[in-house]
Amino acid sequence: MTTEALLAYAHILAILMTATFLASEAALCRREWMNAAVVERLVRLDLLYGISALALLATGLARTWWGMKGAGWYWSQPLLHAKVTLFVVIGLMSLGPTMRFLRWRRQLRATGALPAEAEVRGVRRLVMIEAHLMVLIPLLGVFLARGVGTK
């Protein structure tokens, strides 16, 4: 029982960290706020977002392996597969902003130039899509935990 509670706590903490760093990226990724410090901060936030996403994945997998219901039950559930698929889709989507943030920093350090307005808007759009899709993962988790749509 204590293990289950600690696994759930770690998973919720990882969810909150991931959401916080992604929301911070979305908030800062605006042309009107873009300056050298923001470019540097976006790179650091994106690193923290990636680390927290890995923690989210690790704690989620730990819950399936060591949780009360067991790996056999979890991995036979379509909702778990939907959650993992959505997580992977978001992860793949996040590669674009990550590469652009790094390119912006390289450009800033080399020439002092900030990213173009259209590029900032495009990256922000991707980050916002990620954020809106991420909201669905805990919803699927709640349904899974309560037996909705389970086998």
How far apart are the C-alpha atoms of 125 and 32, rounded to whole Å? 15
Indicate the burial class of 113 (C-beta count within 10 angstroms; 0-12, 13-18, 19 or more): exposed
Contact 22, 53 (CB under 8 A): no
Give the residue numbers spanning the domain of 55: 2-145
| Alpha helices, DSSP H, located in the chain | 2-28, 36-66, 70-75, 78-111, 117-134, 136-145
101 is a domain residue: yes
| Residue 58 domain-assigned (yes or no) | yes
In angstroms, rounded to a whole number, what is the distance separating the alpha carbons of residues 16 and 38?
22
The answer to whether position 98 is within a domain reads yes
Q: Is residue 104 part of a domain?
A: yes
In a domain, 150, yes or no: no
Instruction: Find out whether 49 and 41 touch, Cβ atoms under 8 Å.
Output: no
**Residue 123 token pair:** 């990256």
In a domain, 132, yes or no: yes
In a domain, residue 87? The reply is yes
Q: Give me the tens of pLDDT residue by residue for the chain, a chain 151 residues long.
A: 799 999 999 999 999 999 999 999 999 999 999 999 999 999 999 999 999 999 999 999 999 999 888 899 999 999 999 999 999 999 999 999 999 999 999 999 999 999 999 999 999 999 999 999 999 999 999 999 898 988 7
* pLDDT tens-digit series, residues 82-100: 999 999 999 999 999 999 9
Task: For residue range 105-115, list pLDDT tens digits in order.
Answer: 999 999 999 99
**Number of structural domains in the chain:** 1
Residue 151 lies in a domain: no
Q: What pLDDT does residue 149 have?
A: 84
Of the candidates 80, 56, 57, the one whose C-alpha atom is nearest the C-alpha of residue 145 is: 80
